[in-house]
Amino acid sequence: MNKKCKYKNRLRKLVTQLETNICAVLKQNKMKETFVKTNFNVTAFQAQRILFDDSDLVSMEVRCRIEDQIVETVLLFTFSKFNDLLRFSGSCGEKLQLLVADKLWSNEEQPYCIDIKHANLIFTTCAINICYLIEEDSSCFSAEEVMPISFLQQAKNLRVNIKDFSDVQLQKDTLLNNALQEVATAYRYYLGLMELNLNENAAREKAGLVNEKLFKMAYHAAQHGK
């Protein structure tokens, strides 16, 4: 019994000491805040490596410009934001989409990894608003929003993009065609839902065509694509 009590006392002292040490370290380092908002917008980057699995996250190693400096970092996308990137990125987005599709069909073990350093995929047609995952840690950023860049702004950015990434192209028609194809697909999805006996309001909501102007645009895009 005495031995058990002695061991319990030692264990209690050890746990107490560990707790004290941990608290001291936390106070000293003042644990850095996560998901800190920034005013950073990435408007040009070269994709180098992509990592993804069945989760909702896609990790992309990139060489990009942040606040007028070229850095190598990781951008973390949700699959929804990653799809936005592909849609807004013209031929680069199409090439990357094919690489992702090939990897998904390969039946390889997860996580899937795509090394694209030599594919020369340079994205300059969309802006990505990013924030720190950990304050002042520039090794990884969260992609908060992905927005298309107008053709005029692409032209304004062309000189600095060529300086930083050499092989840069303006892509105007591809972006428009992608948008028309997307709304045409949404309209065909709406028709499919109607055939499954959903009412019109529910079908339009599921297809993302609640807006009347968008619905009409989707209708005409689908008719033009026949």
Overall average pLDDT of the 105-117 stretch: 86
Confidence (pLDDT) at 22: 46
Burial per residue of 209-224, b for 16 or more beta-carbon CB atoms within 10 angstroms, e otherwise: beeeebbebbbebbee
Residue 140: both structure tokens together = 């990884």
Query: In the chain, pLDDT over 70 holds for what percent of residues?
Result: 74
How many degrees, rounded to 5, is the angle at CA 201 between CA 187 and CA 223?
20
Confidence (pLDDT) at 176: 54
Q: What is the pTM of this model?
A: 0.58
Overall average pLDDT of the 28-35 stretch: 49
Tokens 């001291």 sit at which residue?
A: 24
Q: What band does 10 get if pLDDT is binned at 50, 70 and 90?
A: low
Q: Are 45 and 64 in contact (CB under 8 A)?
A: yes
Q: What band does 3 get if pLDDT is binned at 50, 70 and 90?
A: low
Burial per residue of 102-126, b for 16 or more beta-carbon CB atoms within 10 angstroms, e otherwise: eeeeeeeeeebebebeeeebbbbbb
Task: State pLDDT tens for residues 137-176.
Answer: 888 999 999 998 877 677 777 777 777 676 655 455 455 5
Overall average pLDDT of the 13-34 stretch: 49
Rounded mean pLDDT of the chain?
A: 77
User: What DSSP letter does each residue of 40-101 carry, written as one string?
Assistant: EEE--EEEEEEEE-SSSEEEEEEEEEETTEEEEEEEEEEHHHHHHHHHTSHHHHHHHHHHHH
Beta-strand runs (E) in 89-213? 112-115, 122-123, 126-134, 140-148
The pLDDT of residue 43 is above 90: no
Higher local confidence (pLDDT), 25 or 165: 165
Higher local confidence (pLDDT), 190 or 29: 190
The pLDDT of residue 74 is above 90: yes
Task: Categorise residue 211: left if φ over 0, alpha if ψ from -120 to 50, beta otherwise.
Answer: beta
Q: What are phi and psi of 57, to 5 degrees?
A: -120, 145
User: Of 100, 221, 224, 104, nearest to 207 (Cα)?
Assistant: 221
